Amino acid sequence: MKVWMDGNLVDRARATVSVFDHGLLYGDGVFEGIRIYSGRIFQCQAHVNRLYNSARLIRLAIPYTKQEIVEAMRETLRANGIEDGYIRLVVTRGVGTLGLDPFKCAEPVTFIIADQIKLYPQEMYDEGMAVIIAKTVRVADRQIPSAAKTLNYLNNILARIEAVDAGVAEAIMLNTDGHVSECTGDNLFLVEGGKVVTPPLTASILPGITRDVVIKLARQLGLEAEEETLPVERLYRADECFLTGTAAEVIAVTKIDGRTIGGGKVGPVTDKLLAAFREFIRGDEAEGAID
Please give the single-letter amino acid code of residue 94.
G
Q: Are residues 162 and 266 in the same domain?
A: yes
The answer to whether 56 touches 65, Cβ cutoff 8 Å, is no
Strand partners, 109: 92
Q: Are residues 83 and 179 in the same domain?
A: no
Q: Which of 94, 115, 136 is the last residue of a domain?
A: 115
In a domain, 290, yes or no: no
Q: Are residues 73 and 140 in the same domain?
A: no
Mean pLDDT of 191-200: 97
In a domain, 25, yes or no: yes
Does the structure show a pLDDT above 90 at 118? no
Q: Are residues 92 and 229 in the same domain?
A: no
Overall domain count for the chain: 2
Catalytic residue among 2, 66, 149, 255: 149
pLDDT at 119 (0 to 100): 86
User: Could you tell me the CATH number of the domain that includes residue 183?
Assistant: 3.20.10.10
Please say if 149 is a catalytic residue.
yes
What's the number of CA atoms in the CB half-sphere (13 Å) around residue 268?
6
CA angle, residues 107, 110, 112, in degrees to nearest 5: 175
Q: Are residues 237 and 151 in the same domain?
A: yes
Q: Which of 49, 82, 115 is the last residue of a domain?
A: 115
Tens-place pLDDT, residues 19-55: 999 999 999 999 999 999 999 999 999 999 999 999 9
Cα(227)–Cα(199) distance, rounded to whole angstroms? 5
Q: Residue 68: CB partners within 8 Å, gap ≥ 6? A: none
Q: For the packed helices 44-57 and 66-80, what is the interaxial angle rounded to 10 degrees?
A: 120
Q: Are residues 73 and 207 in the same domain?
A: no
Q: Are residues 110 and 126 in the same domain?
A: no
163, 207, 158: which is closest to 181 by C-alpha?
207
In a domain, 239, yes or no: yes
Direct distance between the N- and C-terminal alpha carbons of the chain, in angstroms, rounded to an integer: 30
What is the domain extent for residue 259? 122-280
Q: Are residues 170 and 267 in the same domain?
A: yes
User: Could you tell me the CATH number of the domain that includes residue 39?
Assistant: 3.30.470.10
Q: Are residues 153 and 272 in the same domain?
A: yes
pLDDT at 284 (0 to 100): 64
pLDDT at 280 (0 to 100): 96
Q: How many residues does the chain have?
A: 291
Tens-place pLDDT, residues 214-242: 999 999 999 999 999 999 999 999 999 99
User: pTM for this one?
Assistant: 0.94
Q: Are residues 109 and 152 in the same domain?
A: no
